[in-house]
Structure 1
Amino acid sequence: MDCDLLIIGGGVNGCGIARDAAGRGLKVLLVEQDDLAGHTSSASTKLIHGGLRYLEYYEFRLVREALIEREKLLHIAPHIIWPLRFVMPMPPTGRPGWMIRLGLFLYDHLGGRGSLPGSRGVPLNGPFGAGIKPDIARGFAYSDCWVEDSRLVVLNALDARERGADIRTRTRFTGAARDAEGWIATIAGEDGERTVRARAIVNAAGPWVDHVVGAARGAHPERPPRLVKGSHIIVPRLFDGEHAYILQNLDKRIAFAIPYERDFTLIGTTDVPWHDDPAAPAISVEETAYLCASVSRYFAKPVNPEDVVHSYSGVRPLFDDGSTSASAVTRDYVLKLGEENGPQILSVFGGKITTYRRLAEHALEKLAPFLPPMGEPWTDREPLPGGDVGDFELLLSEIRRRWPFLSERTSWRLARAYGSRVNRVLRDATSLAELGEDLGGGLHTREVDYLVTQEWARTADDILWRRSKLLLHVPPGTRERLERYLAR
C-alpha cells in the first residue's frame, strides 16, 4: 500500500487533514493540481471569526464551533493570526439596536469566555469613527481575528510534511477504482502519470469536489455543490486606526472594510452564483459597483471604481441545502462518505477557514473504521511552524536587533510570515548584500530560494501573492526580475 490516506486538494481543508493525519501516524499523500491555496483558500476575507451574521440564520452550532476554534487558532499561530477590533456603525435604516445588542451578547458568550475583549457600544465622534460620515453618531465594537489565509494553508502543509506526509503540487488526480484492499488511483504530475494505492481517499477538491466524485467509482452520489463567487476590492487606505468596520447593507447583507497591508483597505465580499470555470473567477463591473456603494453609504469620502488598485475573487463550494439565496446557503461543512461497504472516499462540502482544524478532526473520526489504528486528536495544542513565538512584539524586537540592516517594513513582514522560523530564511546574514539580489520591495533571492525549496513556490504569483502580498508594494519590473530568477 503506497499510503493510508490519499488527499485530493491543497486548500485549507486538505492541508489541515494532511497535518492531522500525519501527526497521528498515518501515511499520507496529498495532491494539488495547482499551487497550495491556489484558489478559494487564498481568496477569503482573511478573518478567523465566528460569523456574526450567521446568527440571523440560526446557525448557532456553526457560530459556537467557530468561536471556540478562533481561540485555539490564535494560540497555535499567533504570527499569522492576531486580534482585530470591529466597529459596526448604526445608520438610521439598519437593524434595530436591541437586535444588535442581543446578537453581540450571544456572540460574546456562545464560545465561552476567551482572551478577546467583549462587545460594547461606542460613540463615533472619536477614533472608532475615523472616516465615517458625521451623521452616523454611534455604533458597536466587538472582537474577531485576522489571518494570513494562504500562509495558514502552507504552514499546515509544511507541518504535515515534517511529520511524514508527501505533499505534491502541480499534480492532478485523474481517476480511481476500488478493489478488495483499497483504492487504485491515478495521478499525473510533471514527471508523468503514475498509479498509487490508498486505503481511503479524502476529496477536498473545493469547487472541483463533484469532478472527483465523478472520477472515483464508488463515491457517494451527491448533488453538485452550490458554487458561490465572493469578490473583494483593495483601495488606498480609507481611514486611520487599526480597527475594521462591518457595514450593514440595504439588502441585509454586510460588507467589511479592513486595514490591509498598511497602505490599503480591503473591502468585501459579494455572494454571486457561479456556473463557469472555478479556476478563473473575476470580479464583475456590477460587483465592483456594489462594494463601492456599500462603503460609500458610510464614509465621508466616497469610494469609486477607479479607486480600486487590485481585486480578487474566489469560488466557494457550498453544500446545496436548497436555499434560494446565495447569501443564505449554509457555510457549515458537510462530510459525505461513499458506499457503505469496502474502502471509503470522504467528500468535503462547504466549510469556513475558521473551522478547518475541527473539520479535519471530524473527517478522521468518520474514516477511522477504514484506516489503521491512529493516535488521538492533537492539533489544538501544537503550534504551527513558527507559531511558538510567545510575544510577537518581543520577536519583532529580536529580529530588529539581530538583523538591524532590514527596513522596518521588511522586518515586520518577515516576522509575520515566518514567526520563530525567520532565522531559517535570514540565517547568519550580517548585511543586505548577503541576502542576495533585491528583486524589489525587500524581496531578496535568499528568501526566494527558501520559498522554492521549503514552501513549494514555483511561480511569481506563488511568491508575490500567496506566500506574501508583496504584489501590492513592489516597483515595476519586480515580477519580470523574479520570473527570470525562477527560470534559472
Structure 2
Amino acid sequence: MTDSYDLLVIGGGVNGAGIARDAAGRGMSVCLVEMGDLAQATSSASTKLIHGGLRYLEHGEIRLVRESLIERERLLAMAPHIIWPLRFVLPHDKGLRPRWLLRLGLFLYDNIGGRKVLPPTRTVDLRTPPHHDVLKDRLVTGFEYSDCWVEDARLVVLNAVDARERGADIRTRTRCTTLTRTGDGWQAQLQADDSECTVSARMVVNAAGPWVDDVLGRAIPGAEHANLRLVKGSHLIFPRLFGADTAYIFQNSDNRIVFAIPYEGEFTLVGTTDVGFDGDPSSIAISEAEARYICDAINEYLRLEVTPEQAVSSYSGVRPLYDDRSADNSTVTRDYVFELDRGAAGDEAAILSIFGGKITTYRKLAEHALTKLGAPGKGWTASAPLPGGDFGGETIASLAARFAAVNDTLPASVIMRMARAYGTRTEQIIGSVQRPHTLGEEVAPGLFEAELAYLVECEFACSAEDVLWRRSKLGLHFAPDQCASVERWFARRGADS
C-alpha cells in the first residue's frame, strides 16, 4: 500500500524543516525526505548568525533586511537556548566606507526592523580595552551593534523534531529517486539503504538546496533548469585569537566583509568567502586561495598575525542562490525566490521550488511558501517556541542551576552545554530532582550514554558524525580517540539493534 500525504518536502535543510513544521501544525499530512542527515549541507555551513545582513543595505535590499531584522527577535524568543545576542564591533578604517555612511547604515539597521530587546548601536573608542589589545593602532573609532548567534544545525533539527511531534513523517537517509506527476498529485520513489517504497502527495516542495535544479529535472523532464548560482563560502576555526566576548566585522578593500567571532569557548570562527562553484556540492572543502584570503583579511586588522596553518579546522558550504545575473558573487541576492509549476491546464498538482534564502528568514519563507501553495490554515509559528525553548521567564543561567541540582556530580560546563543545546528538554536526559535519570557510561568526556540515546531516539542522529559535528560541535573539543569512542558506541548500538 502506498503512503499518501498532502505535502511531500524534499530536502532536510532549514527551509525544508521549517516548511514541514509549519504545514504539520496546520493539520496537513507531511512527509519530509532528506538524502543525508538533517542540515548536512548548506544549513550547517553558515556563519552561525541570525542577522539582518548589514551589507545588504548597500545593495538596496531594504525589504530583505527589514524582514530579517523582524525575524531576528522572533527567533530569539522562540529558541533562547540555541540563539543568543552578540555584540559586533565594526572598526572605521580610512580609505574604505566613510564614517558617516557606516553610522547611517547602522541607524537604519537599528530602526527599520522594530528592534525591542537588543541594545542599540553605540560608538566605541578602539584605543581602550579590550579593543586596543586586539586591533592595530591605526584603528581609532568603531561602532558596536547587535545581532544574534545561532547553532544552525540544531535550529534545523529542532524544526524537524517539532514537525514530527505534530504528525509529520521525517525520513532521513532517504533519497527521492523519481518524481512523477499523476494528474491530481505526485508519486515519488524513495530509496533508503537497500529498501525502496513509493509515496504519493498532492503537492511537492522542492527545498533541495544545491540540488534543487536536479529535483526539478526529475519532476519536469525535458525542460531546461538552470536557475541556480552556486556560491561557495568557507570558514576557518582558530584557537581563540582574542579574549573579549565581542565579535568583530572587518571591511575588506574588495567591498566584502569578514567576521571574527568567539566560537565554542576556546576558538575563533573567521569567514566567509564568496567563490563561484560548479562542482559536486556533496564534496566540498576550503581551497588554499580561500584560506589565504581569510587570513589576509583579518591580518589587516588584528595585532596577532595568523596563517592558514594555525587553523584547527575549517568548513565549507554552497549557497544555492537564485541567479540574478549579477556580475559579482558577493552581490547576488540572498533573498529567496519561488518557482511554482502547476502543470497542464486544470492540473492542480503543484511543485514549488525554492532558490536562495537566509537562515534568518527561514520561518517567514515557510509561511510564504505555504501561502503560495494555497495551504489551509494560517501561519502560527511566529510565537510558538521550538522544542526546549519554552523558558517561561527562566534564563539559561537559572535553567543550568536547576539542572545542576538534579546531578551535582556533573561539571558546570557540561550542564551549561546541555542547557544550551536542549533548553528545558535537558530534563528528558538527566531527569528531575524528584526523579533523576541514570546517565550510563561516559562515552567521551562529559558525553554520556543517556544523551547519545536521546539524540538517536528524539533528534534523528544515526552516526558519530551527526552528534559530534551537527547536533553538537564536540568534535572540536575531543581528541581523535575520544571521537572514536563515540563511533564505537554507535557501532555497538547498530549491532544490538
How big is the shift at 1:128? 4.9
Cα-to-partner distance string for 1:103-158 (whole Å, 9 max, x where unaligned): 00111111123211111211012345141112211100100000000000000000
How big is the shift at 1:89? 1.0
SS of aligned partner of 1:213: helix
* Residue type of the alignment partner of 2:362: Y
SS of aligned partner of 1:327: helix
| 1:171 counterpart residue number | 174
How big is the shift at 1:412? 1.1
SS of aligned partner of 1:435: coil
| 2:411 counterpart residue number | 407
Compared CA separation, residues 251 and 338, structure 1 to 2 (3 A): same
Contact conserved, 1:84 with 1:144, CA < 8 A, in 2? yes
Compared CA separation, residues 110 and 85, structure 1 to 2 (3 A): same
Deviates more, 1:95-104 or 1:474-483: 474-483
CA distance in 2, matches of 1:218, 1:236: 49
2:291 to 270, 277, 288: 288
Deviates more, 1:124-133 or 1:427-436: 427-436
SS of aligned partner of 2:201: strand
1:25 to 24, 27, 50: 27
Deviates more, 1:317-326 or 1:214-223: 214-223
* Residue type of the alignment partner of 1:448: L
CA distance in 2, matches of 1:86, 1:195: 49
Contact conserved, 1:441 with 1:475, CA < 8 A, in 2? no
Cα-to-partner distance string for 1:272-305 (whole Å, 9 max, x where unaligned): 0011100011000010011011111111111111
* Residue type of the alignment partner of 1:436: G
2:187 to 184, 199, 217: 184
SS of aligned partner of 1:276: coil
| 2:123 counterpart residue number | 121
Cα-to-partner distance string for 1:170-226 (whole Å, 9 max, x where unaligned): 000111111232111111112511111100000000000000000013798542300
Compared CA separation, residues 219 and 255, structure 1 to 2 (3 A): farther
How big is the shift at 1:269? 0.2
SS of aligned partner of 1:232: strand
1:155 to 158, 167, 172: 158
TM-score (norm 2): 0.95
| 2:37 counterpart residue number | 35
SS of aligned partner of 1:380: helix
| 1:384 counterpart residue number | 386
Structure 2 unaligned blocks of 5 or more = 493-497
SS of aligned partner of 1:113: coil
| 2:495 counterpart residue number | none
2:20 corresponds to 1:14: no
CA distance in 1, matches of 2:477, 2:413: 11
SS of aligned partner of 2:242: coil
| 2:365 counterpart residue number | 359
* Residue type of the alignment partner of 1:149: D
SS of aligned partner of 1:230: strand
CA distance in 1, matches of 2:135, 2:269: 16
Contact conserved, 1:218 with 1:338, CA < 8 A, in 2? no
| 1:107 counterpart residue number | 109
| 1:217 counterpart residue number | 220
Cα-to-partner distance string for 1:72-131 (whole Å, 9 max, x where unaligned): 001110000010000001122321001001100111111123211111211012345141
SS of aligned partner of 1:477: helix
CA distance in 2, matches of 1:150, 1:433: 27
1:297 to 300, 306, 326: 300
How big is the shift at 1:375? 2.0
| 1:451 counterpart residue number | 455
CA distance in 2, matches of 1:128, 1:166: 50
* Residue type of the alignment partner of 1:458: C
Contact conserved, 1:235 with 1:308, CA < 8 A, in 2? yes
| 1:59 counterpart residue number | 61
| 1:251 counterpart residue number | 254
TM-score (norm 1): 0.96
SS of aligned partner of 2:382: coil
Contact conserved, 2:429 with 2:439, CA < 8 A, in 1? no
* Residue type of the alignment partner of 2:372: K
Contact conserved, 1:247 with 1:255, CA < 8 A, in 2? yes
Contact conserved, 1:218 with 1:339, CA < 8 A, in 2? no
Deviates more, 1:448-457 or 1:378-387: 448-457
What's the Cα RMSD here? 1.7
| 2:206 counterpart residue number | 203
Contact conserved, 2:406 with 2:433, CA < 8 A, in 1? no
Compared CA separation, residues 108 and 423, structure 1 to 2 (3 A): same
SS of aligned partner of 2:373: helix
| 1:348 counterpart residue number | 354
* Residue type of the alignment partner of 2:449: T
CA distance in 2, matches of 1:265, 1:430: 40
* Residue type of the alignment partner of 2:397: E
Compared CA separation, residues 429 and 462, structure 1 to 2 (3 A): farther
Cα-to-partner distance string for 1:320-359 (whole Å, 9 max, x where unaligned): 0000111010000001101454210000000000000000
* Residue type of the alignment partner of 2:458: Q
How big is the shift at 1:440? 2.0
Deviates more, 1:456-465 or 1:7-16: 456-465
* Residue type of the alignment partner of 1:457: A
